[in-house]
Structures are given as C-alpha cells and as structure tokens.
Chain A
Amino acid sequence: MKTKQNQANHWIQVAILAALGLAAVLSLILPQLLQRRREPQLLSLSVMLRDTDSSGWSVARQGMEQAADELGAELRFLTLTAANDSAEQEALLLREINGGAAALVVVPADPAALSAALNSWLVVCPAVTLESPMEGAAGVVSPDNALLGRQLAEALLEDWDGGGVVLLDTAQSRGGVADRLAAAEETLAGAGVPVAREELLPEGDVRWVMAFEPTVTQRTAEEKETEGRDFALYGVGTTTAITAQLERGSIAAIAAWSDYAAGFLAVRRAVDAVRGGTGTLTPLPFSVLRREDIYAPENQKLLFPVMSSSGR
C-alpha cells in the first residue's frame, strides 16, 4: 500500500516537472509560431480599369496604394487598349486570375458580361467593383448612383428656366452609370422637364446637358469650351480638369465624391475578402458642388487631395 502510494507520489512529481518543462518550451516556441502565423502574406491584387489610361483614376489609385501599403498587398494596374472594351477586359482579367492574382479590383465595362465570364472564378479570386455593381462580386464601391442622379437633376432644376435637357446616355451596359441617368431622367420628367437621351452631344441649340461619367463630363466641357457653345453642363467627377472646368464655369455643377476613399475602400474590401472577411460596403458620400463651393475648406479636402509622399 505504502509502496503504491510512494509510486503515485513519484509519478505526480514527475508529471508536474514534465508539465513545467513543457510549459516553458511552449512559451518559448508558441509566440514565434503565432507571430509567424500573424504575419500576413503579401497579396497580389490586379486593378482593371475600363479606360485606356489611368489618368482619370490617379486619385483613386493613390487611395488604392495607401490601402495596399497598409494591408500588405501589391497592385498591378491594367488598362485597355480601347476604352470600355468588355471582351478585352474579360481576357485580361482571366489572364490575371490564371497568373495568380489574389483578388481583383475592377471598373467593369460591362458588369453583366464580365460576371458571366468570371462567375466560376470569383470564388477563388474575389472581385470588388468600382462605379457599377456586378453579380458575384465581393462588393461595389460607389456612391448611391440613383440618389446621385436625382440630386444632380435637382441641381439642374434649381437653374432650369425652360428648354429640354439632353441626358448623355453613354453607358447602357454599365449599371451604375445607367442608374444615375435613370434617376435623373425620372426626377426631371417628374418635374415636367422635357428630356432626351443622346449618346453624343447633339449639334445645334442645346441649353441643358447632363453627363453621368467623369470622362464624358470632361469631354463635354472641353467641347463646350473649344466650340464656344453655351449650355449648362451638369456632370460628375473630381479630377483636376473637371474642377478647373467647374471653376471656369464650363460646368454648372458636379456631383463629387472622394476618389481617394473609393480606391482605398475597394482595395481594403478586396484584401478583406481574400482573408475571409465578410464586411459590407456602404455607399460613398457625395456632394453636388457649384463653382462658388470649390474653395470651402471641406470641399478643398474633397476636390484637391493632399498627397503625402511618405504614405503610411
């Protein structure tokens, strides 16, 4: 009996010693293992625009780079040889997916076609869209397009004193832009304003024009300036050129949002999707600005990004 008790005591002490030794070793090893696990892998993200160059997305790009820098990702910016070429966009994105891209940030030229082409791939390579929503995507970063269209139309209505409004219908296939247009059309029609959808700025006497894409807004304002035409243009976008056009009076009002925030949020959501997050995106806040609003302190922050060259 005594011997058995002594044996039990002996083994209890050996067990305590072993537990202490194991705990000491584990406390030495575990933090390093956990730290190694915590160190996120550098993600490769492909950013696909629907334009031939990225100059119109320079601010958004800086927001993306800021997010990539903070979240441990590297970005590849891709543009098309022809603007809004959906087929080329699909081919390039498939190439990127096959090339090992962890996620995609896309400004879809044709969301429906792109969704159909990438649908089976979006499980392994999540995509976040800018401007227009896309089925199967991990999220869309854009303002509330319908609300934007409505408020832009209301800004026009504040100035309207008669005459028809030309709605530049440049993107039937892009849902976000189409939503803006539809909401503006509905608002104007509701106010009894005659509207006409046109793919190109019509020649002749036009008094009111609405554009729903930054590039179209800028191009229309340039036409107005170069051709000396006189119409009130209501558009979207916050590029320096558009702001200058607004300041010069070529554009009556713009709906502006932070491209920097859009780029940042898109990359952050994409990285989050790769790492298993299920966060949701809320619509970007936007403002409808006129010429006299440009230099208000808050609008300066919105229209003229302060680009820290250091980043963080």
Chain B
Amino acid sequence: MNVFRRLAAQWGERYRKMSIQMVLSLSFTAVAAAGMLLMSVSLLWRITAASEELVAENSQRLLAQANLNLDSYLRRMMRISDTVYYRSIKNTDLAGDDLTGDLSLLYEENRDDLVSLAVFDGEGDLVSAVPLSAMKKEAEPAGSDWFQDAARSMENLHFSTPHVQNIFDDPDYPYRWVVSLSRHVQLTRGGVTESGVLLVDMSFSGIEEVCRDVTLANGGYLYLIDGGGELIYHPRQQLIYAGLLEENNRAAAAYRDGSHREEFQGQSRQVTVKTVGYTGWKLVGVAPAGSWETSSRQLPLFGLTLLLFSIFLMAFLNYLISARISDPIRRLERSIRELENGLAGVEIAEGGCYEVQRLSHAVGSMVSTMRHLMDDIVRQEEQKRRSELEVLQAQINPHFLYNTLDSVIWMTESGQQKEAIQMVTSLARFFRISLSKGKSLIPLGDELDHARHYMNIQQIRFKNKFTAEISAAPEAGELYTLKLVLQPLLENAIYHGCASAEDDGIIRVTAYREGEDLVIDVEDNGLGMRPELAASLLDEDRPELPTGGSGIGVRNVHQRIRLTFGEGYGLTILSEPDEGTLVRVRLPALSREEADRCRQGEVL
C-alpha cells in the first residue's frame, strides 16, 4: 500500500512538473496505446484461433483426400481378393483344377501392387501361390496372425500390419515388406467344401506411395496406424524402428476422428485423425503448434511492428496536436512572465482555440487597462511635478514684487523719480523675461539679462552698496538654461553677502561651458559662512531659515534644477567666513533643439 502511495506521490510530483503539452501528449498516447494493445491482443487471439481452425480444416481436407486414395487402394486389393475368391476359388474344384492360372493372371495385372497371391487350406498347407509356388521348409502359415485372423472371423477381410513375408522360398531372399490381406474361403475339393485362407500380400510401397506425398502445412506430416495403434506407415518409420524417434501412435489410436491438441515430448501439436473405412486403420495428421500459432512466428512479430508503428504514429500526432493546443497557452504564459519581469512593450500573444483566444484577449485587455492606468499615474505624477515646479516659481514673484514695489513707493515719495522710473523699467523687463511665454527653459542670454535687471533694481534699492559683473563665455552664449535660477542666488548674495558687509561688495556672475554641462558661478566677496553651514544649505531636511530676502533661497533653485534635469545637476556652495561665497550652478548644456525636446517632456 505504501508503495502505491509513494508511487502516486512521485507521479503527482512529476505531473506538477510537466507541461500541459506533455500531459496531453502522454495521456492521449497512453490511452491510445492501451486501446491498441487490447485490440492487438484480441486480434492476435482471433487470428491464432482462426489459423488453428484453418490448419485443422486443411489437415482434415488432406486427410480426407489421403483417406480417399488409401480407401481406393485397399478396395482395389479387396476387389482382387473378391475376384480370386468368387471367380476362381468358388468355381474351381481343387481335385481336378488348379488355381495357379487365374492367380497368375491377376498377379500380372497388379504386379506393381502385389507381392504374392496364395491360397491355403485349413491346415495351412499351400494350395496355390504366385509368383512363388514353393514354401520354405520351416514356414508355418497357420501360425501367422493373418491366417488366424481369417480363420477366426470368417465373414471379414483382414489387413495385417506391415511385416516381412517369410513363407515362400525365394532364392534371392528379397525380404520384402508387405501388408497381408487375408480372408476365410470355402475350397471345393472333390465336391466337398473345406475351409481355407486366401492371402493377398500387398506391397508396402503401395501404401507408402499413397501416404508419402501428403504434406501438411509447416512441417506437418501424416502417418498410418492400425486400430490398436501399431504403426503401418510413418515418414520416419525406420528411425522409430531403430529407437531413435518416438511417436505418439498408441495415444492417437484412442482419438476420435477430428482435430485434437496434444502435448508430446514437450511439444504442443495439433493431431487430426481420420479413420480409414473398413480396415479400422487411422490416418493421423500431425501439425506442430508453431505452424498455426505463429505462422512461422511472423504474425505476432508483424503485429508487434504494426502496434509499435501505430503507437509511434499516434504519439507523434498527439505530440503535434498537443503542441498546437498548448503553444498559444505557452506563448501567453511567456508574455505574462515577460510582463512580470518588467519588459516594456510586451505584446500579449493571442491565438489557438476559442477558449485560449478568449483568455489571451482577456489578459491583453487587462494588461492594456493596466498600462493606461500606469500612464495615468505617470501623467498625474508629471502633472504634480510640474505643478510643484510652477508653485516654486510662483513663490518668487510675490516676495520680490512686494519688496520692489515697496522700494518704488519709497523712491517716489522721496522724489527720486528718475530712479523710480529706472526701477520700474527694470522690473517690467524682469517680469517679461520671467514670463518668457510660459517657457521654463530660456536662452542663457535672457537669464543673464534677467539677472542684470534684478541687480539694477537691487542696486537702486541698496544705493549702489555693491557692484555686479555679469558675463558669459562665447561658447555658452547659445545655450539654454532653466529660467529664474540666478535671481534667488543673487538675492542671497545681496542679503547675506554684501548687505551687511562694511566694504563695497562685488557680485560676479560668470557663465561658461564645461564639457556637456553649462556652469554659472555666482560669487560674492561678502561675509561668507562656515563650510559645513554652506554644505547644509541644500539639505532638504534642514529647517527653513529666515533670509530677509525673497524668502525662498538657494534650496528652491537646487530642487527645481534636480526636478527638471535629475540628480546629477544642481547647486554647489563653496564658502569661507570673511572670504565670500561661490554658488556654482550646474546644468546640462542644452542647445535650442534639446531645450525644445525637454520642454515637450522628453527625458534627457
């Protein structure tokens, strides 16, 4: 029981590892093979049975023919005996006549089949005989079986088993095998009837000729026995007589007419028996089992070949069909696996039969929906990022505008109309560049102009407490930059660097190209700060400090640049107390085309 469970568990484990195509293919093949095997066994059994019947019929037909020939031969011998008896013996009075003439005539007519014709009286003394007329001195016919059979059963004709005739004195000593046909006869001698025996010695070769040409199928043979099983003819008779071979003749004598199965010397064979009329002899046909069971052993092998070829063909077809069924499922599974692995642009394979198509279509729809949802999320994230950016940009304007307008009010009230006009003019240009038609990326020149206008405004406000130098290298002139990155830095430089300094401050803005980057340095000679403080200014976790300027500071700029261009860009602040501060802006060196693509949302 445990063995079965273990096997079932192993099979279950194996089954789980199988592909659907293999399960289909193996299952169909196994069922088909079992069916074909069953049919083959059934067919083989039926063919074997039919073949056995055919062999039996063939044997019976051949035996019937042999029986006919043998019966004809024996009847001819009986007719000879009748002729001798009824035409010669009954018409002859031995006291005056001799039978030899009639016997000679008959003998000559049938000498091919006859060895001798002889008539004996009741004591066994020779009355007449041909072709030899003298008996051996020591011959005792009355003691012979054929004589005693005739004397014992007067009404019948008796056929002996083969024996060597030893009655007649033949100088050649031919020792011929004969089958003796004997009968009781009434002899007339001087008008008195007396018993006698008529002997017709048939040549054994006559019987042999009848039997020897009968060949049964596949090595089968025929032999002849008398009613007691004594062998009369056998194709290997002398081997049997020499003790080198055995035959099952005694058992065959007990068989009824028809076909029988027997085991003899470890061999199965089919024995067909036919009784020869009148004599009680039996013709026995022997067909070895192999002759019908295998038809030379080819039938089962041919059947096996057919079976194997059919199973092979079935397995091959099953393999193809199952592959055709399972391939779309496998392609679908592969598509889903690629999808799981995050491969972009995966097409969900659709194909196969209706159910698989529906399944593929459903999965495809699901994936499409998922993609739309993901696109929406990305778009929303983008939107959110842009909104955040716009909010950051928008944060600049109110503070700066408030301070500038406050300065304009102050200058107007104090009669500095010229400065007020200059300031308002710079403010107007400042905002025009700020707007830039809503573009976030503007030419570097515009950004530097924007910085100049801002510095003009601030210089008016701070009464030229500092000077500004803004320049750009020629190779950087055509590049584009994120707008409004300099103004917050200048604002910091003014408020934290120069406003509190005792000396006149210098704020220097220098733009140049460095490899694939655009670098803009904003440098002042103000109070400076400790390097660790400078480094922490860009830290997003650092609490917002009051700046006294626009209130937004460098972190705003730093975040905008990184949001727009990525982590590799942004600000670097280098500062030392009483030495001044350098804020370096690093941006990608964007041409006009690149700036346009960037505006359209492409990833750089």
- A residues in contact (CB < 8 Å) with B: 2, 5-6, 9-10, 12-13, 16-17, 20-21, 23-24, 27-28, 31, 62-63, 66, 240-241, 243-244, 247, 258, 260-261, 264-265, 285, 294-295, 297, 300-312
Contacts of B298 in A (CB 8 A): 31
Q: How far is the CA of A16 from the CA of B238 in the complex (A)?
A: 57
Name the interface residues of B161-194: CB closer than 8 Å to any CB of A: 162-164, 166, 173, 175, 177
- Say which one of B77-85, B89-97, B301-309, B593-601 lies at the interface with A: B301-309
Please tell me if the beta carbons of B237 and A306 are within 8 angstroms of each other in the complex.
Answer: yes
By the criterion CB–CB under 8 Å, are A265 and B208 in contact? no
CB-based A-B contact count at 8 angstroms: 117
Complex-state Cα separation, A265 to B242, whole angstroms:
11
Chain A nearest CB from B284 CB (Å) reads 15
Q: How many Å from the CB of A147 to the closest CB on chain B?
A: 17
Residues of A within 8 A of B21 (CB): 9, 13
Residues of A within 8 A of B244 (CB): 261, 264-265
Q: Would you list 17 pairs from A and B whose C-beta atoms are within 8 A, ordered by A residue?
A: A2-B337, A5-B19, A9-B22, A12-B22, A16-B26, A20-B311, A27-B304, A27-B305, A27-B308, A62-B238, A260-B238, A260-B241, A261-B244, A295-B163, A295-B164, A304-B175, A308-B208
Point out the residue from A240, A305, A312 that lies within 8 Å of B173, measured CB to CB. A240
- The size of the chain B interface, using a CB distance under 8 A, is 46
Contact residues in A for B308 (Cβ distance below 8 Å): 20, 23-24, 27
Which residues of the partner chain A approach B25 to less than 8 Å between Cβ atoms? 13
Contact of A20 among B26, B164, B204, B315 (CB under 8 A): B315
Q: Is the CB of A17 within 8 A of B166?
A: no
- The answer to whether A261 touches B242 (Cβ under 8 A) is yes
The 7 closest A-B CB pairs, nearest first, are A244-B173, A301-B241, A261-B242, A310-B212, A24-B308, A20-B312, A312-B235
Within 8 A of A (CB), among B536-590: none
Does A307 contact B212, Cβ atoms closer than 8 Å?
no
- Check if A63 sits within 8 Å of B238, measured CB to CB: yes
| B146 CB-CB contact with A under 8 Å | no
How long is the Cα–Cα vector from A308 to B234 in the complex, in angstroms? 8
With a cutoff of 8 Å between Cβ atoms, the chain A residues found around residue B235 in the complex are 308, 310-312
Q: Are B316 and A17 in contact (CB under 8 A)?
A: yes
Picked from A247, A285, A312, the residue with its CB within 8 Å of the CB of B243 is: A285
B319 engages A17 (CB within 8 Å): yes
Given contacts A6-B330, A295-B166, contact A17 B315 (CB under 8 A): yes
Does any Cβ of A come within 8 Å of B205's Cβ?
yes
CB-based contact B243/A258 at 8 Å: yes
* Complexed CA–CA distance, A190 and B564 (Å): 140
Check if B315 sits within 8 Å of A308, measured CB to CB: no
Cβ contact of A308, chosen from B163, B212, B301, cutoff 8 A: B212
**Which of B29, B208, B239 makes the CB contact (< 8 A) with A66?**
B239
Contact assessment for A21 and B312 in the assembled complex, using a CB-CB cutoff below 8 Å: yes
